[in-house]
Structure 1
Amino acid sequence: MNSQLEQISSRIKELREILELSAEEVAQKVGIPADTYLEYENAKADIPIGVLYDCAAVLKVDPAELLTGEAPRMTEYTIVRNGKGVAVERYAGYAFHSLALNFIGRKMDPMIVTLTPKDQPPELVSHAGQEFNYVLEGTIVVTTQGHEFVLHEGDSIYFNPKPLHGQRAVGGTARFLTIICD
């Protein structure tokens, strides 16, 4: 497991203990089995982004605190210079650069995602809210609700991310802007 996952898992466990919640209570509130939750909390399995956001809600913190260990500080605006977004590695083959983690109370999470090509289908994830993907370069295949959509540079998709979904690069590295909203 990577050190970032271990740090995130450690933060979740520490906050849970500070709030005097049992692992079973958090698992129930998040809507997953307790043994699955414990795998996430002990860094034995990668935490899906939707579960991470649900844990943040249960623990009453901004997801940025779980991801980076720091609370957002800006209330009026935040600027991220070219190439300076907070790097978040969540899944193999995905590199996220968050563009708004420092904004308190944000209603959306814009990120630049870089995908390296893989031969196998993408890992499918689920989370609440709405999601928008805009391809900046390359070609991606978006899988959602049993359909595959091929998107090229300049194409976009707006969809319900609650059903299992995922993206993969085809024919080389691809980059896209994703915006996840409440």
Structure 2
Amino acid sequence: MELGSKIRKLRLEQNRSQEEIAQACGFTKSLLSKIENGKTVPPIGTLIRIAESLGTKISMLLDDNDFNGTVYTPKASNMEKMVQTDQGYAFSAIAAKRPEKLMQPFYFVVQKGKTGKRTFSHFGQEFIYVLEGTMIYYVGKEEYTLNAGDSLYFDSVENHKYVLVSDEVKYLSVFCSDTNG
């Protein structure tokens, strides 16, 4: 099942309107409609807000399987499941088959000149580890230059954004939205 269809199915199972979910997420009903109809793929922060408003984890929106054991994700599998967003980057959820996890790791590939200048903010904490390339990452009013091997851990409710220095950056980002255990 496609991402938008999963969101619509969960929303309808809960007898909730698009307006209600959109308001809870802080965006328009029109945007939610576009997401549900597969006309746009939102950024990760938006998906996290949708999942939280529906009382689920982002991994449940990205994978149909219900598995609570050890999850092995081969490299080839990650490359096959890359999702291209309208924000100029592609991502793949790692270990998406396990729905009840405390954190959600993602693999990102971002290309210079294709991403917007959007600032993100969502509940939880985030960890970033740069695999290849260089980017400047802003958290609040602080600026960090991240090269391959560098990492950053921050409260993701703080406004954050990035600017690429190299033509392409590949990085791992781990989100944890349940900070209360």
TM-score > 0.5, shorter chain as reference:
yes
Give the structure 1 partner of residue 29 of structure 2: 37
The runs of at least 4 consecutive aligned structure 1 residues that moved more than 4 Å come to: none
Give the structure 2 partner of residue 174 of structure 1: 169
Q: Aligned partners of 1:76 and 1:164: how far apart in 2?
A: 34
- After superposition, the Cα gap between the structure-2 partners of 1:78 and 1:118, relative to the gap in structure 1 and judged at 3 Å, is same
In structure 2, what residue type is equivalent to 1:40?
L
Return the offset for 1:95. 1.5
Q: Aligned partners of 2:22 and 2:164: how far apart in 1?
A: 33
Q: Aligned partners of 2:82 and 2:40: how far apart in 1?
A: 20
Identity %: 29
Are the equivalent residues in 1 in contact too, given 2:127–2:152 (CA < 8 A)? yes
Q: Aligned partners of 1:10 and 1:104: how far apart in 2?
A: 18
RMSD: 2.5
- 5 Å-filtered alignment, 1:115-154, equals 115-118=110-113, 122-154=117-149
Structure 2 residue runs of 5 or longer lacking an equivalent are: none
Give the counterpart of 1:47 among 30, 37, 42: 42
Deviations for 1:23-47, whole angstroms, at most 9, x for unmatched residues? 23323433x25xx133222346653
Return the offset for 1:148. 2.6
* Number of equivalenced pairs: 172
Give the structure 1 partner of residue 71 of structure 2: 78
Deviations for 1:111-137, whole angstroms, at most 9, x for unmatched residues? 121111128763221111111111111
Structure 1 residue runs of 5 or longer lacking an equivalent are: none
Are the equivalent residues in 2 in contact too, given 1:10–1:42 (CA < 8 A)? no
In structure 1, what residue type is equivalent to 2:146?
L
